[in-house]
């Protein structure tokens, strides 16, 4: 049974079909790349999976359970984690405080800083451990808003690790990251995937996609053109013609 299954999902907004009959079954532990030109519907697919938008037809299942109509927080509690194309950090808090808040969210507790559990030291130690795992140990007391773009992305991944989701959606994790930070961030994504977590990643940098994923899903005009191994996808004539014109 796939951990995540998308069955004939369509999203119609006004007169526009933004997703058109998309079906995709993702086995547990897979790392799936999602590629396609700008406006293809990649972020919208993540929105429909995570509950930001509701599919107008079709079904989304997590571990066999239908979540199509469930709100974001219910899907998060069921084990779905995601990052956004733009950052979602508390810029005025330290890196450690951000990770602690993420861990609190997972626990379903209060998100106000004053309401941390009494085991504050233990929570802090755990947060610092997650930061060390993504290579941000030296930045644990840094204010999140002051971190470099690459380090912000690493912090977001440390926050995801603290929430320990089973299925993770990463929307353009390399966007705005300097090329010097790319290898380190790839390693952090590998760690995130480690231990059986399933990862779906929208990414334009093809060397990142090819270096990380098991399969690649190709979207174009709201449709899924192909989903296969990187080699098979790159050799697929339909995919090649969709990319003619160079939009990526
Ligand atoms: P991608 O992430 O592949 O670049 P998006 O999923 O962001 O593409 O967008 C796909 C298309 O859907 C675009 O044409 C975009 O303008 C449109 N779109 C996305 N979200 C909405 C929305 N909430 N309302 C109307 N149109 C939307
Ligand atoms: Mg893998
Ligand atoms: Mg997008």
Contact 130, 99 (CB under 8 A): yes
* Closest C-alpha residue for ligand 1 atom 15: 39
Tokens read off for 149? 């773009």
pLDDT of 70-126, one tens digit each? 999 899 889 999 886 666 789 999 999 999 988 887 655 444 444 555 556 888 999
Q: Give per-residue pLDDT as tens, 206-238.
A: 889 999 999 999 999 999 999 999 999 988 888
Which residues neighbour ligand 2 (ion) by CB within 5 Å?
Answer: 31, 214
Nearest ligand to residue 41 Cα: 1
Q: For the chain, which residues make up each domain, given as ranges?
A: 1-79+165-248, 87-157
Q: Which residues line ligand 1 (CB under 6 A)?
A: 13, 18, 36, 38-44
Residue 110 is predicted with a pLDDT of: 43
**How many Å lie between the centroid of ligand 2 and the Cα of residue 178?**
25
* Backbone phi and psi for residue 194, each to the nearest 5 degrees, phi listed first: -60, 145
Query: Does this model's pTM top 0.95?
Result: no
As beta bridge partners, residue 24 has: 6
Closest by Cα among 98, 58, 78, 38 to 220:
38
User: Dihedrals φ, ψ of 107, to 5°?
Assistant: -70, -10
Class of domain 1-79+165-248: alpha beta
Tell me the pLDDT tens digit for each residue of 129-157: 999 999 999 999 999 999 998 899 999 99
Query: Residue of the nearest CA to atom 1 in ligand 1?
Result: 39
ipTM given for this complex: 0.94
CB 197 within 8 A of CB 165: yes
* Ligand number, closest to the Cα atom of 175: 3
Q: What is the distance in A from the centroid of ligand 3 to the CA of 132?
A: 29
DSSP one-letter code for 216 = E
List the residue whose alpha carbon is closest to atom 6 of ligand 1: 41
């Amino acid at each position: 049974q796939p951990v995540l299954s998308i069955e004939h999902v369509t999203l119609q907004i006004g007169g526009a079909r933004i997703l058109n009959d998309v079906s995709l079954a993702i086995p547990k532990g897979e790392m799936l790349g999602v590629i396609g030109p700008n406006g293809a519907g990649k972020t919208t697919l993540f929105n429909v999976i995570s509950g930001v938008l509701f599919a107008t037809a079709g079904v989304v299942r997590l571990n066999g359970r239908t979540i199509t109509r469930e709100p974001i927080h219910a899907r998060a509690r069921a084990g779905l984690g995601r990052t956004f194309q733009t950052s979602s950090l508390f810029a005025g808090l330290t890196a450690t405080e951000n990770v602690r808040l993420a861990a609190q969210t997972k626990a379903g507790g209060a998100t106000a800083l004053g309401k941390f559990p009494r085991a504050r030291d233990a929570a802090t130690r755990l947060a610092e451990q997650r930061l060390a795992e993504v290579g941000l140990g030296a930045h644990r007391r840094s204010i999140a808003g002051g971190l470099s773009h690459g380090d912000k992305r690493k912090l977001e991944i440390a926050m995801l690790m603290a929430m320990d989701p089973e299925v993770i959606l990463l929307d353009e994790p390399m966007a705005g990251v300097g090329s010097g930070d790319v290898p380190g961030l790839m390693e952090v994504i590998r760690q995130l995937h480690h231990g059986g977590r399933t990862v779906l990643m929208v990414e334009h940098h093809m060397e990142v996609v090819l270096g990380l994923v098991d399969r690649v899903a190709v979207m174009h005009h709201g449709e899924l053109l192909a989903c296969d191994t990187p080699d098979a996808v790159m050799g697929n004539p339909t995919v090649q013609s969709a990319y003619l014109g160079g939009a990526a």
